């Protein structure tokens, strides 16, 4: 490949990234990958209701191929970095393009609670994910942990009420984040029509609610004794 071709490619990539729409597309694409991971993670975790033997077998299956596991983790980490960086860049652009003279009274016209909390809910969710991994993967979370016993570790962890409450709050934040993210992705892709837009907004809300109920059912199941050792 010639130097000219490489330069053109680099220039085109740079122009794409520097454009607002480029950042929005990167944010939407990385968000879509993370959304699929959240769905897959929920489907895997719901197997806890099938009992210890089944859930522990599922956990062992995830570690059969360490190379694939770490490739998936690195891929997800890359998506997180792209998502956060694009979000940060868009935040800076929005501030630069904002009205230079402050409003006498701030009004949140045309924005939802989810959209107004997107930028600060992200770091809180990230902090939760780090703790969650430390607790159930590394055993560094202040709750009983035994290698190879994922079911027992999960039950022991969610029997600590403050941890379960923290989990539920984090999941609520994640779902408001996903609701606005899914809705924004539709807008970024140009799916905007007076007839279908309200339906798509409702669909995004229903998806977020369904995911929250799914994740919430796990600590609630432990706290109510439905899931127990």
pLDDT tens per residue across span 19-47: 888 888 888 888 889 899 999 999 999 99
Average pLDDT over all residues of the chain = 81
- Between 69-83, 126-140, 172-186, 190-204, the lowest mean confidence (pLDDT) is in 190-204
Tell me: pLDDT of 209 over 50: yes
> 10 Å Cβ neighbour count for 87?
20
Report pLDDT for 108. Answer: 47
Report pLDDT for 80. Answer: 86
Q: Are 190 and 24 in contact (CB under 8 A)?
A: no
Instruction: Give the closest residue to 226 by CA, choosing from 51, 41, 56.
Output: 51
Report pLDDT for 93. Answer: 79
- What the block records as the tokens of 81 is 């970095």
Please indicate whether residue 127 or residue 118 has the higher confidence score (pLDDT).
127
Question: How far is 109 from 116, CA to CA, in rounded Å?
Answer: 11
Tell me: pLDDT of 12 over 90: no
**102 CB-contact burial (10 Å; exposed 0-12 / middle 13-18 / buried 19+):** exposed
List the domains of the chain with CATH numbers.
3-223 (1.20.1300.10)
Please indicate whether residue 228 or residue 99 has the higher confidence score (pLDDT).
228
- What the block records as the tokens of 90 is 């868009």
List, as own/partner pairs, every contact residues 105-114 make where C-beta atoms lie below 8 angstroms and the sequence separation is at least 24, other chains included: 112/180, 113/176, 114/176, 114/177, 114/179, 114/180
Q: What angle do CA 29, 114, 15 make, to 5 degrees?
A: 35
Query: In the structure, what pLDDT confidence band is assigned to residue 208 with cuts at 50, 70 and 90?
Result: very high
Does residue 136 sit in helix, strand or coil?
Answer: helix
Does residue 193 sit in helix, strand or coil?
Answer: coil
Query: In the structure, what pLDDT confidence band is assigned to residue 8 with cuts at 50, 70 and 90?
Result: very low
Query: In the structure, what pLDDT confidence band is assigned to residue 67 with cuts at 50, 70 and 90?
Result: confident
* pLDDT (tens digit per residue) in 90-124: 878 777 765 555 544 444 444 454 555 566 677 77
- What the block records as the tokens of 23 is 């950042």
């Amino acid at each position: 490949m010639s130097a000219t071709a490489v330069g053109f490619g680099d220039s085109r990539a740079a122009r794409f990234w520097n454009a607002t729409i480029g950042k929005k597309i990167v944010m939407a694409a990385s968000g879509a990958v993370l959304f699929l991971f959240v769905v897959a993670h929920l489907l895997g975790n719901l197997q806890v209701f099938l009992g210890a033997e089944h859930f522990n077998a599922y956990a062992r299956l995830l570690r059969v191929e360490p190379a694939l596991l770490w490739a998936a983790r690195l891929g997800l980490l890359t998506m997180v970095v792209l998502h956060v960086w694009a979000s940060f860049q868009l935040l800076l652009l929005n501030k630069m393009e904002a009205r230079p003279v402050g409003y006498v009274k701030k009004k949140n016209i045309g924005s939802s609670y989810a959209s107004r909390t997107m930028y600060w809910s992200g770091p809180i969710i990230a902090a939760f994910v780090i703790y969650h991994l430390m607790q159930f993967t590394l055993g560094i979370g202040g709750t009983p942990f035994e290698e190879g016993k994922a079911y027992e570790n999960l039950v022991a962890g969610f029997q600590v009420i403050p941890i379960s409450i923290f989990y539920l709050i984090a999941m609520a934040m994640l779902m408001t984040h996903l609701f606005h993210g899914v809705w924004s992705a539709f807008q970024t892709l140009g799916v905007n029509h007076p007839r279908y837009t309200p339906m798509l907004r409702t669909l995004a809300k229903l998806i977020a609610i369904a995911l929250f109920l799914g994740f919430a059912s796990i600590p609630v199941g432990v706290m109510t004794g439905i899931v127990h050792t």
